[in-house]
Structure 1
Amino acid sequence: MTDSSSASSLIIGGAASSPRAPLPTLPPLALYIHIPWCVRKCPYCDFNSHTASPVLPEQEYVDAMLADLDQDLHAVYGRELSSIFFGGGTPSLFSAEALGRLLEGVKQRIPFADDIEITLEANPGTFEQEKFVAYRKLGINRLSIGIQSFQQEKLKALGRIHNGDEAIRAAGMARQAGFDNFNLDLMHGLPDQSLDDALSDLRQAIELKPTHISWYQLTLEPNTVFWNQPPVLPEDDTLWDIQEAGQALLAEHGYAQYEVSAYAQPGRPARHNLNYWSFGDFIGIGAGAHGKLSHPDGRIVRTWKTRLPKDYLNPAKSFQAGEKALTNDEMPFEFLMNALRLTAGVESRLYPERTGLPLESLDEHRREAEQSGLLQVEPSRLAATERGQLFLNDLLQKFLS
């Protein structure tokens, strides 16, 4: 594997730039914890998720994740965690006892920031009031609830195990359990969905008063049931109408769009995701988890863990499936594919701070993107225009070497 710190220069637009510098400060550090089991695999889902057996190997999996974390500790010594995110799969299938033992083990190894954000993904079909009260007592202070739709025919088409009433009750139970900060995950562009259907879902979500709404269009991903057996989705004109009307409705009710598919009440964006989009660092533990860690000498390394739970739990196999040190010519795309998802973009100074490369190395591609009307002409910020947000892939292509 090539050590990215050994690259002497970056050629962009035919001009050589300076070598990558040591990073002046390391970015915030987060932890992603992947729990890969679900009650049932949804036909649109391309995440690393697997149908759960009647009894989950909670103890063995927690032991494995802590051993996995031990192998990453050398790269984060002296740093603290700003956020933790339990993703999946359906992490709420695990007991509070198991998650508590895991959190305690993590805290013994890496200090927690005083104001750490700890998010747990949950599905309405797995909600139990007593369990969620116990989760809150563990220090988990944010939920992300996978609603997708409140309409029964849409939920059935998506293969979801809950109904609309359970989705509504889940939000109430979250609040009763002490969660004053929670996200509702909602899809649009569903099979046979009309504009009225989509806005009805949004209005119901808003009525539940979450602090955050993730509202995104259903896409057909390879290696899914929907990819092989595509459902009938709304036409492009309907999708455009849904997008415009939905954004206006969310704004009307105080949910500001701060990322392509993320809307939050004032002061309530997801800190874990903001760190990810601003090229922060994160350790990934659990089957198939990905990580990204910066080193003071300028190296930035992406890692990924063994994908299948049975292999991850096999002592004879390595937790880590692979790693890649980012090269200088990969850095613009790697940084911007995250940062430009933010509607306000990021301050330009963040690019040299997080990559070790001079801002000037972007100049030629940046001018081309500005002239195309995809990037804002703003020296102090790297931010997409409204058109650039709509055609983000086209914008990012401008920064491929």
Structure 2
Amino acid sequence: MALELYVHIPFCVKKCGYCDFVSAPAADAVQDAYVKALLQEIRSAGQKDQVSSIFIGGGTPSIIKAEHIEAILSCIRQEFAVEEDAEVTLEANPGTLTAEKLAVYRRAGINRLSIGLQSANDEELALLGRIHTFREFQESYRLAREAGFQNINVDLMAALPYQTEESFERSLRAVTELAPAPPEHISVYSLIIEEGTTFYEKYHSQAEAREAGSEDTAPLPTEEEERTMYRRTRELLEGCGYERYEISNYARPGFVCRHNVGYWTGVPYLGFGISSSSYIGGKRFSNGRSLKEYLTAMKEARPLETIRVDEEVVEEERAMEEFMFLGLRLMRGVSEKEFKRRFGRSMEEVYGTVLETMEKRGLMEMTAPATREKREERIDGDASQKDRLWRLTEEGIDVSNYVMAEFLL
């Protein structure tokens, strides 16, 4: 099975109020030193493994020099056997893209862009702390199309402070009407108030009140309003030719994000850069979060093990849990046949009681063979008449966190 690679670029123009990722502004000299360290880490880890996808995320990867992105991808291709048709994604923010950068990205082999819009409402963008307006996003999007990018994802956020169902729908429609052609992929995630962010200090008490059922929770949308936004997302995007293949992700035929599907289905991955995570050979580990320690370790050519934290061997029970709660994010569901192949035990033997309970409550269902075959052929070409798949119902999606927690052993 081929590896997936993730490269973390921890730099941004400024920190957004909701962001809990390891990212911060930095001078050019710091960015240059970090990329040099990244190249050292990649060379130390490379073993000519086959690679099916590469994802460069952050932070805002598009703020560093385009030549740095080119050098990173060149180094990866020297150290790994990157498949000819590998999916290579770069995250970018409006206001940081230029025609010159985009030309270098194309030359470097990037074939998929993921642009963080979040909202088409300028007031909502300002509240989030974004550095761009909707008009500036439109300009960045136009430049990407003119540069030849034919696989673009646009990120949107739901359940923002002061956001209404109407303003959210206007953002959705604005994305589906983008010129010269709508994006091939749209991701829609709800705002999560994370501890350690400025939004946590500002809104966490209101989030707690909402969870407790208080009616006085403005300016955050209510739980029912959030669910309505998600239902409307499905209705509107499916009406525009997008397929919902994962709880928060929609794609036109042929443009499912292969990197993300690999993550949800247990494909091994290797991360580079501070705070990046890896899952390979049955082990999971992360790099530390300190930029200073990372730069020092790479400069001194220390073994990669010295920068890794949170190392664990993923035991069988944990692997079964992840198979279920990650796989259930996909609309196709989880395969009984694949579960038996991986763990030597039937899904019924391990989770029979949970499956029966979830089905009786209308939160999960077994898919019909014809529907299942059509879906699997689109996503991974592995349809089987003998297999049975379990998936969330629409009601189950509404309470997906509860359903997935039921599969913890």
TM range (shorter): 0.7 to 0.9
In structure 2, what is the Cα distance between the partners aligned to 1:356 and 1:80? 27
In structure 1, what is the Cα distance between the partners aligned to 2:161 and 2:291? 32
Determine which of 132, 152, 158 is the counterpart of 2:102: 132
Alignment of 1:297-308 (within 5 A): 300-308=282-290
Q: Tell me the equivalent position of 1:350.
A: 338
Assess if the C-alpha contact under 8 Å between 1:28 and 1:275 holds in 2.
no
In structure 2, what is the Cα distance between the partners aligned to 1:391 and 1:47? 25
Gaps (5+ residues) in structure 1? 1-26, 295-299
Give yes or no for the alignment of 1:340 onto 2:343. no
Q: Tell me the equivalent position of 1:10.
A: none
Cα distance, 1:244 vs structure 2:
2.2
Cα distance, 1:353 vs structure 2:
4.1
Q: Deviations over 1:131-154 (max 9, x none)?
A: 111111110000000001121110
Q: Tell me the equivalent position of 2:358.
A: 369
Check 1:72–1:322 CA distance in 2 against 1; reply closer, same or farther (3 A cut).
farther
Matched residue type, 1:45: C
Cα distance, 1:234 vs structure 2:
1.6
Matched residue type, 2:137: A
Check 1:363–1:69 CA distance in 2 against 1; reply closer, same or farther (3 A cut).
farther
> Whose RCO is larger (CA < 8 A, sep 6+)?
1
In structure 1, what is the Cα distance between the partners aligned to 2:139 and 2:254? 25
Give yes or no for the alignment of 1:274 onto 2:261. yes
Give yes or no for the alignment of 1:212 onto 2:212. no
Give yes or no for the alignment of 1:243 onto 2:225. no
Give yes or no for the alignment of 1:68 onto 2:41. yes
Q: Deviations over 1:42-97 (max 9, x none)?
A: 111111112x2232434432332233234544xxx563110000010000112121
Matched residue type, 1:30: E
Structure with higher helix content: 2
Assess if the C-alpha contact under 8 Å between 1:119 and 1:141 holds in 2.
yes
Alignment of 1:257-272 (within 5 A): 257-272=244-259
In structure 1, what is the Cα distance between the partners aligned to 2:48 and 2:56? 23
Cα distance, 1:291 vs structure 2:
0.9
Cα distance, 1:356 vs structure 2:
6.1
Matched residue type, 2:201: N
- TM-score, L = length of structure 2: 0.85
Corresponding residue pairs, total: 366
Assess if the C-alpha contact under 8 Å between 2:70 and 2:104 holds in 1.
no
Gaps (5+ residues) in structure 2? 207-218, 368-386
Cα distance, 1:366 vs structure 2:
3.1
Alignment of 1:386-401 (within 5 A): 386-401=394-409
In structure 1, what is the Cα distance between the partners aligned to 2:343 and 2:400? 21
Check 1:159–1:49 CA distance in 2 against 1; reply closer, same or farther (3 A cut).
same
Assess if the C-alpha contact under 8 Å between 1:189 and 1:217 holds in 2.
yes
Cα distance, 1:191 vs structure 2:
1.5
In structure 2, what is the Cα distance between the partners aligned to 1:307 and 1:194? 36
In structure 2, what is the Cα distance between the partners aligned to 1:367 and 1:70? 49
CA RMSD of superposed structures (Å) = 1.9
Check 1:352–1:325 CA distance in 2 against 1; reply closer, same or farther (3 A cut).
farther
Assess if the C-alpha contact under 8 Å between 1:343 and 1:389 holds in 2.
no
Cα distance, 1:347 vs structure 2:
2.7
Q: Tell me the equivalent position of 2:6.
A: 32
In structure 1, what is the Cα distance between the partners aligned to 2:198 and 2:404? 29
Determine which of 272, 275, 287 is the counterpart of 1:288: 275
State the identity as a percent: 37
In structure 1, what is the Cα distance between the partners aligned to 2:66 and 2:340? 42
Assess if the C-alpha contact under 8 Å between 1:68 and 1:319 holds in 2.
no
In structure 2, what is the Cα distance between the partners aligned to 1:288 and 1:340? 26
In structure 1, what is the Cα distance between the partners aligned to 2:354 and 2:117? 40
Helix, strand or coil for the counterpart of 2:160?
coil
Cα distance, 1:354 vs structure 2:
4.6
In structure 2, what is the Cα distance between the partners aligned to 1:304 and 1:356? 29
In structure 2, what is the Cα distance between the partners aligned to 1:199 and 1:357? 45
Check 1:62–1:351 CA distance in 2 against 1; reply closer, same or farther (3 A cut).
farther
Q: Tell me the equivalent position of 1:311.
A: 293
